[in-house]
């Protein structure tokens, strides 16, 4: 339990911990007021059952005299009103603490989901290739909500109810220690035994729910992500069945937990009723004092009425907490265990890394995270500023890997990335990346306007429309946008650009890479989805950048690389040949074979 509290505590920041303390202190105050409300019922019931107590009881007599009451009925009305206002005050305080409690829980949902999102965003690219992003969505949205409502709130509830229960117990203890101990220990024993008997199982079903929930999120994400293939292959039933199986498992664990957390309350009602019977018999038979019985029974009935939900609340909150321990563990791990994370900085905060002479990969050895087979071994590459180079090679030769290392998406296991002879370190990587415009093999488009997709990640009111159009013209998309789209650059592209053709999507990707007018342009099969004529037009436009930018192009269609200053031929992670297009066409059989097969 101590470990759990420490984990929860570590998920809160300084001001959140302070608020948590305020909440706990308010709960103690409410516990005190509550018990005063319960205690105030005793004199009232004593006077109802035996009006003579006003003169025989020292305290009641003092109040009666001090406030100058003239009849016992008036005094009774006064006591009744006192009880009423105590209850009113106590319930108003409870409502206020509930507000504090809800406020605390819901704003933790806000702050924790932000922190988790930021923690994921700041992870290196390698983190994402070993993750299923649907599960990350689910963690940010569903599991954080589960944490706040089913881990954090149960904690405050356990505390508030424990305080209430202890104060009620204290009150009963003052009135009749033996009976208080019997009641409290019998109720406590029932709850504690059920809890300890079932706690292991609770953790297991909690883990099963967490896993089943992760699986159903993954399946839903994959079904929609691959909807085209799913439709063509008629695989809807496969995904539907898989989703149903995991959804059923997750919900059946919820049912098991829900039932478990409520069952003892039914049993306890019987125990409580039996308790009242015992009290009546105890006072009638053992103490033989019928005059005292009514107020004490009223007190016990009222205390029981408060104590039972308090104990039941502690029990269900504790079992909820136990059931959701996997959620706490996962959030704790994802928010705190984050050694390679890079802080999220806005562009203005990142100084661009000066680039004047050359980019180098020096003696680089690299294997992908989770794999011990190196894709590149002692790999060297040097690219002079403002030259155009091409990377060619059979599929799987390592071209994209080389580019990903130049982009700083991965760090070499050995060797380094140098810019102007200086190693690019983690602190300067973001500054280096500001030099680069990158067109990947498959272009991601957000469900937004063309302009927002080209400027990508720039707030709409800060987009430089002149830069958007300039990039659109080089990417040969400008005429299409102006002539054929109803709202020009403000036309929405649909989710993942579904309203555009593959070639149009690719040209938007090129325009996006050029929007910032970067010093380095890296294109990985950037023109492969274009028809021959459009490809030629785009290649021509990019050619106008030759000598002004450093251009690195991966292409299977080798004619795209005709104007490159230097082409590197890669095979199994090594450079096996290099030269201009003419040189390689003349001297390399391998290059000629690639040329022929790519036409």
Ligand X SMILES: Nc1ncnc2c1ncn2[C@@H]1O[C@H](COP(=O)(O)OP(=O)(O)OP(=O)(O)O)[C@@H](O)[C@H]1O
Q: Which residues of this chain interact with ligand X, rule CB under 6 A?
A: 129, 368, 371, 375, 393, 395-401
For residue 34, the minimal CB distance to ligand X (Å) is 59
Q: Which is nearer to ligand X, 393 or 518 (CB)?
A: 393
Work out the end-to-end distance of the chain between its first and last CA atoms, rounded to an integer number of angstroms: 67
Q: Which is nearer to ligand X, 275 or 398 (CB)?
A: 398
DSSP bridge pairs for 502: none
Q: Which is nearer to ligand X, 99 or 128 (CB)?
A: 128
For residue 252, the minimal CB distance to ligand X (Å) is 36
Q: What is the CA radius of gyration of the chain?
A: 36
The residue behind tokens 């706040």 is 148
Under a CB-based contact definition with an 8 Å cutoff, are residues 449 and 489 in contact?
Answer: yes
Helix (H, G, I), strand (E, B) or coil at 557: coil
Q: How far apart are CA 564 and CA 388, in angstroms?
A: 5
For residue 402, the minimal CB distance to ligand X (Å) is 7
CB atoms near residue 43 (< 10 Å): 21
For residue 388, the minimal CB distance to ligand X (Å) is 19
For residue 149, the minimal CB distance to ligand X (Å) is 36
Q: Which is nearer to ligand X, 93 or 361 (CB)?
A: 361
For residue 403, the minimal CB distance to ligand X (Å) is 8
Under a CB-based contact definition with an 8 Å cutoff, are residues 19 and 11 in contact?
Answer: no
Q: Which is nearer to ligand X, 383 or 485 (CB)?
A: 383
Q: How far apart are CA 94 and CA 98, in angstroms?
A: 6
Q: Which is nearer to ligand X, 11 or 364 (CB)?
A: 364
Nearest 10 degrees: Cα torsion 335, 341, 347, 352: 170
Q: Which is nearer to ligand X, 182 or 575 (CB)?
A: 575
Q: Which is nearer to ligand X, 215 or 400 (CB)?
A: 400
Structure tokens at 203: 């953790």
Q: Which is nearer to ligand X, 283 or 438 (CB)?
A: 438
Sequence-distant (≥ 6) Cβ neighbours of residue 195 within 8 angstroms:
315, 318, 319
Q: How far apart are CA 114 and CA 508, in angstroms?
A: 30
Closest to 325 (Cα-Cα) out of 150, 456, 472, 444: 150
Please name the helix (run of DSSP H) or strand (run of DSSP E) that holds residue 28, with its range, or none.
Answer: helix 14-39
Q: Which is nearer to ligand X, 320 or 405 (CB)?
A: 405
The residue behind tokens 């809160």 is 12
Helix (H, G, I), strand (E, B) or coil at 477: coil
For residue 390, the minimal CB distance to ligand X (Å) is 13
Under a CB-based contact definition with an 8 Å cutoff, are residues 299 and 41 in contact?
Answer: yes
For residue 525, the minimal CB distance to ligand X (Å) is 7
The residue behind tokens 């709202």 is 487
Distances (CA, A) of 440 to 127, 131, 231, 522, 524: 19, 20, 26, 8, 5
Q: Which is nearer to ligand X, 129 or 181 (CB)?
A: 129
For 344-356, letters b (16+ CB in 10 Å) and e give eeeeeeeeebebe
Q: Which is nearer to ligand X, 191 or 568 (CB)?
A: 568
Q: Which is nearer to ligand X, 278 or 394 (CB)?
A: 394
Q: Which is nearer to ligand X, 218 or 399 (CB)?
A: 399
The CA-based angle 141-239-446, given to 5 degrees, is 50
Q: Are strands 436-439 and 388-393 parallel, antiparallel or unpaired?
A: unpaired
At residue 250, φ and ψ (nearest 5 deg) are -60, -45
Under a CB-based contact definition with an 8 Å cutoff, are residues 560 and 552 in contact?
Answer: no
Q: Which is nearer to ligand X, 214 or 397 (CB)?
A: 397
For residue 556, the minimal CB distance to ligand X (Å) is 7
Structure tokens at 138: 């689910």
414-419: strand order across its sheet: 376-384, 358-366, 414-419, 422-423
CB atoms near residue 400 (< 10 Å): 19
Closest to 172 (Cα-Cα) out of 164, 160, 184: 184
For residue 566, the minimal CB distance to ligand X (Å) is 18
Structure tokens at 517: 């007018």
DSSP alpha helices (H): ranges in 141-235?
Answer: 144-147, 153-175, 177-225, 227-232
For residue 543, the minimal CB distance to ligand X (Å) is 23
Helix (H, G, I), strand (E, B) or coil at 362: strand
For residue 478, the minimal CB distance to ligand X (Å) is 29
For residue 361, the minimal CB distance to ligand X (Å) is 13
For residue 416, the minimal CB distance to ligand X (Å) is 19
For residue 408, the minimal CB distance to ligand X (Å) is 16
């Amino acid at each position: 339990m101590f470990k759990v509290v420490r984990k929860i505590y570590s998920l809160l920041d300084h001001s959140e911990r302070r608020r948590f303390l305020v909440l706990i202190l308010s709960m103690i105050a409410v516990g005190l007021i509550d018990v005063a409300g319960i205690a105030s019922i005793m004199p009232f019931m004593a006077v109802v059952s035996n009006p003579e107590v006003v003169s025989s009881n020292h305290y009641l007599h003092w109040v009666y005299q001090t406030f100058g009451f003239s009849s016992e009925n008036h005094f009774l009305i006064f006591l009744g009103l006192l009880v009423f206002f105590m209850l009113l005050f106590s319930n108003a305080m409870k409502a206020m603490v509930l507000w504090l409690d809800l406020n605390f829980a819901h704003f933790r949902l806000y702050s924790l989901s932000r922190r988790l999102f930021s923690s994921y965003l700041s992870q290196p690219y390698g983190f994402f290739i070993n993750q299923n992003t649907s599960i990350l969505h689910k963690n940010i949205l569903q599991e954080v909500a589960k944490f706040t409502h089913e881990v954090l709130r149960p904690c405050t509830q356990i505390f508030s109810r424990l305080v209430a229960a202890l104060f009620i117990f204290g009150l009963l203890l003052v009135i009749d220690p033996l009976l208080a101990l019997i009641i409290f220990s019998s109720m406590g024993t029932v709850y504690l035994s059920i809890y300890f008997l079932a706690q292991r199982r609770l953790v297991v079903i909690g883990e099963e729910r967490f896993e089943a929930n992760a699986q159903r999120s993954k399946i839903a994400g994959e079904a929609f992500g691959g909807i085209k293939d799913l439709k063509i292959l008629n695989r809807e039933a496969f995904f539907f069945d898989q989703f149903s199986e995991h959804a059923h498992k997750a919900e059946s664990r919820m049912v098991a937990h829900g039932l478990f957390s409520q069952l003892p309350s039914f049993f306890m009602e019987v125990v409580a009723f039996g308790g009242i019977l015992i009290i009546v018999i105890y006072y009638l038979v053992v103490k033989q004092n019928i005059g005292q019985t009514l107020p004490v029974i009223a007190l016990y009935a009222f205390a029981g009425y408060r104590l039972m939900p308090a104990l039941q609340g502690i029990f269900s909150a504790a079992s909820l907490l136990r059931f959701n321990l996997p959620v706490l563990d996962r959030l704790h791990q994802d928010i705190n265990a984050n050694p390679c994370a890079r802080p999220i900085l806005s562009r203005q905060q990142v100084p661009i890394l000066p680039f004047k002479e050359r980019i180098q990969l020096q003696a680089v050895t690299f294997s992908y995270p989770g794999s011990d087979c190196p894709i590149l071994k002692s790999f060297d590459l040097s690219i002079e500023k403002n030259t155009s180079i091409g990377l060619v090679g059979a599929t799987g030769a390592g071209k994209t890997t080389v580019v990903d290392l130049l982009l700083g998406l991965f760090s070499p296991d050995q060797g380094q990335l140098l810019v102007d002879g200086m190693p690019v370190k983690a602190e300067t990587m973001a500054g280096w990346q500001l030099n680069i415009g990158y067109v990947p093999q498959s272009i991601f488009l957000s469900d937004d306007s063309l302009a927002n997709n080209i400027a990508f990640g720039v707030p709409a009111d800060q987009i430089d429309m002149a830069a958007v159009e300039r990039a659109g013209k080089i990417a040969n998309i400008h005429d299409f946008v102006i002539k054929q789209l109803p709202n020009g650059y403000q036309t929405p592209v649909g989710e993942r650009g579904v309203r555009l053709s593959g070639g149009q999507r690719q040209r938007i990707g090129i325009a996006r890479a050029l929007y910032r007018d970067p010093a380095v342009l890296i294109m990985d099969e950037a023109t492969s989805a274009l028809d021959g004529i459009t490809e030629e037009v785009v290649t021509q436009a990019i050619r106008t950048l030759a000598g002004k930018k450093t251009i690195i192009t991966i292409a299977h269609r080798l004619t795209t690389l005709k104007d490159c200053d230097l082409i590197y031929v890669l095979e199994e992670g090594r450079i096996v040949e290099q030269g201009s297009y003419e040189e390689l066409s003349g001297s390399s059989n391998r290059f000629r074979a690639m040329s022929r097969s790519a036409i």
